[in-house]
Chains A and B, each alone.
Chain A
Amino acid sequence: MKRTDINIPSEVLRRVYETMLRVRKIEERVAELVSKKEIKCPVHLYIGQEAVATGVCANLQRDDYVFSTHRSHGHYIAKGGNIKSLMAELYGKETGCSRGRGGSMHLASPEVGLPGSSAIVAGTIPLAVGAALAFSIQKRNAVSVVFFGDGAVNEGTFYESLNFASLKKLPVIFICENNLYSTHMPISDCLANTDIYKKADIFNMPGIRIDGNGVVEIYKAAKEAVDNARKGGGPILIECMTYRWRGHVGPNDDIDKGLRSQEELDCWMNRCPIKRLEKNLLKDGILSESERIQVYKEIEKEVEDALLFAKESPYPDPNEDKFYNGVFKS
């Protein structure tokens, strides 16, 4: 695919910056709450990877679909999910986006085009293909995006999905967030060929690798991919090189467990996607220092409001009838 140079409007850059910051602030707060055992469900934090979800989703319409994984907070927020409902879900409350039934790994917000997140590795990859199949049958102009990790590339359904999407020229954007680890295992212990983007080639579809910490680059690549898929140009695999600052699950960093090094983490923290964009926005006069402070304040308040909402919300009713009521649509 030919890469064109796209000029990103200032207001888009501002919006992208705010979204990344919102993801970061929520995640940092959630990390504290997990440490304090206020949030009890298993939480996989997205800190460090914010640019990927943000840069991709900034190109999507509300009725485009996004499918997510166990590490779903960033995708949910970037697609426009309500953060009060997110926080309430983490607290296991009835007002949560999944009514307290799913927890952190199972966020959904169908009204903004997020029909679910699966904690089964690679579980949503074929679902995204199926949604795209539906869009093509319906002659809708929508695209289907699936986020998944480098670990998911080890499941057979990943390859089957690429093949089927390419065969039928479906409007699917496969976004692989390569954060170099799958639970406790570095990618080199999992994949015989760690160039994930090259796996597209065998299925006759484009595959590219980009800097997953550069939101502008991600935005541009995603824009091209989305425009192309909307026009019937078929699927693409985009591998975004990034890093999670926290451990696989929970607020710690997994350095204590001997799974990775402080130097590696420091190196990636120096490449913070948010700081990087912020510096450029300040330099280019798109954001002033006082506006920056204002944005921080507003987002911090949003987060505290969401937290208050979650805390004050009621728990689900554990009465047995209520259980059965939820199993089938009536």
Chain B
Amino acid sequence: MRKISYVQAINEALHQVIERDKQIFIIGQGVTSPWYVGTTTVGLIDRFGQERIIDTPVSENTVTGAAIGAALAEMRPIVVHPRMDFMYYALDQIANHAATWHYMFGGQLSVPLTIWGIINRGGEQAAQHSQALQAIFTHIPGLKVVMPSNPYDAKGLLVASIKDDNPVVYIDDRWLYEYVGDVPEEIYTVPIGKGVIRRKGKDVTVVAISYMVNEAIKASEVLEKEGLNVEVLDLRSLKPLDENLLLDSVKKTGRLIIADGGWKTCGIGAEISAKIAESNIFKELKAPIIRVSLLDVPAPASSVLEKAYYRKAEDIVSAVRKNLEV
């Protein structure tokens, strides 16, 4: 199959869906800029013009609200936030409006909206330019949340998010943009709510999301040389969460490590741990669950601190060894 990068996969998905469906438009900061959203939106403005490729002033709350309003008027907007940190300004519109609208009016209305938030961190950008807020959105009823870890899913989940009749928070990570992988040229979807086993194993389950999936695969390669057989489960969707896949894998291995790029407290790892704790599989665990996640600390600037702050493959390797007591 043809290989392209993660960022090209997003760009291709946008070109294809916007061309095919007149209801779709994209709105947000930097969609016409040469650097703001990486190269995810390259070529869109030349092809589709300002009516459907709308670069905006710095007004996150209103722009998001406007996208919700357009969704209520038979459009299927994609609202982009070039960094998740800036989405706090839009949180009211996302949580109080987009997320509630279907339920609060007894199912009369729905908000077919893709809320695209980009994680952009590292490079000494510090606390307000680094955040990975998947846990916050996953907490809110009425939002679906997806996080693709590779080019195939980047395209397929974006198309699925756009086709979904509900608000979907689509979260990508700039650290993944140059990853290359197989991507079909035609339009396809990856089902929301389905995880996937990236690597089969029997000794320990590593549940990973987004960027941490690749780190988990690297870790599993290191551990394989030591004779350890790691199963890597890529969750892909945080909500709905593929509980069956999770329980089956942990039942098989009896051991669980969760690798997430967000903060630890009340993070995705906490939710997954609780799911296991509430299930029958809990008593089959052979060792305590370990979460590999960020310290409960705002992102620091200095690169020496960043290096200690962000989690990488070696942290997963250590967690697996600790779990297996090897």
Contact = CB atoms under 8 A, between A and B. Distances in A.
Main SS at interface, chain B: loop
A326 B295 CA distance: 12
Contacts of A134: none
Given A151-B57, A154-B57, A191-B57, A183 B126 contact: no
Interface string A12-50: 000000000000000000000000000011100000000
A119 B126 contact: yes
B23 interface: no
A190 B57 contact: yes
A41 B34 contact: no
Contacts of B123: 40-42
A41 B306 CA distance: 12
Contacts of B59: 154-156
A260 interface: no
Given A119-B126, A191-B57, A323 B34 contact: no
A189 interface: yes
B58 A106 contact: no
A318 B57 contact: no
B186 interface: no
Contact of A183 (B30, B296, B307): B30
Contacts of A184: 30, 32-36
Interface string B307-324: 111000000000000000
Nearest to B85: A120
Contact of A316 (B58, B298, B304): B304
Interface in A104-127: 105-106, 118-123
Given A184-B30, A326-B297, A156 B129 contact: no
B62 interface: yes
B273 interface: no
A315 interface: yes
Contacts of B223: none
Contacts of A269: none
Contact of B55 (A102, A156, A189): A189
Contact of B301 (A102, A123, A154): A102
Contacts of B88: 120
Interface residues of B, number: 38
A222 B298 CA distance: 36
Contact of B126 (A106, A182, A320, A326): A106
Contact of A40 (B29, B57, B124, B127): B124
Contacts of B96: none
B16 interface: no
A100 B124 CA distance: 9
B302 interface: yes
Given A103-B126, A106-B127, A315-B302, A320 B58 contact: no
Contacts of B297: 323-324, 326-327
A152 B59 CA distance: 9
A315 to B, nearest CB: 4
A311 interface: no
Contacts of B296: 324, 327
Main SS at interface, chain A: loop
A93 interface: yes
A150 B32 CA distance: 19
A185 interface: yes
Contacts, number: 126
A92 B127 contact: no
Nearest to B129: A119
B303 interface: yes
A257 interface: yes
Contacts of A92: 124, 301-305
A154 B62 CA distance: 10
Nearest to A42: B125
Contacts of B295: 320, 323-324
A257 B33 CA distance: 9
B280 interface: no
B300 interface: yes
A323 B128 contact: no
A101 interface: yes
Contacts of A122: 58
B89 interface: yes
A318 B300 CA distance: 10
A199 B300 CA distance: 37
Contacts of B34: 184, 257-259
B58 A40 contact: no
Interface string A300-326: 000000000000000110111001101
B304 A318 contact: yes
B55 A318 contact: no
Contacts of B60: 155
Contact of A152 (B58, B129, B303): B58
A155 B33 contact: no
Nearest to B88: A120
A151 B124 contact: no
26 contacts: A40-B303, A41-B125, A41-B126, A42-B129, A92-B301, A92-B302, A100-B305, A101-B300, A119-B126, A120-B89, A154-B58, A156-B61, A183-B30, A184-B32, A184-B33, A184-B34, A184-B35, A185-B57, A257-B35, A316-B300, A318-B305, A318-B307, A320-B308, A323-B295, A324-B297, A327-B297
* Pairs of residues from A and B, 4 with the lowest C-beta to C-beta distance, nearest first: A92-B302, A103-B301, A41-B124, A154-B57
Interface of A: 40-42, 89, 92-93, 98, 100-103, 105-106, 118-123, 151-152, 154-156, 182-185, 189-191, 257-259, 315-316, 318-320, 323-324, 326-327
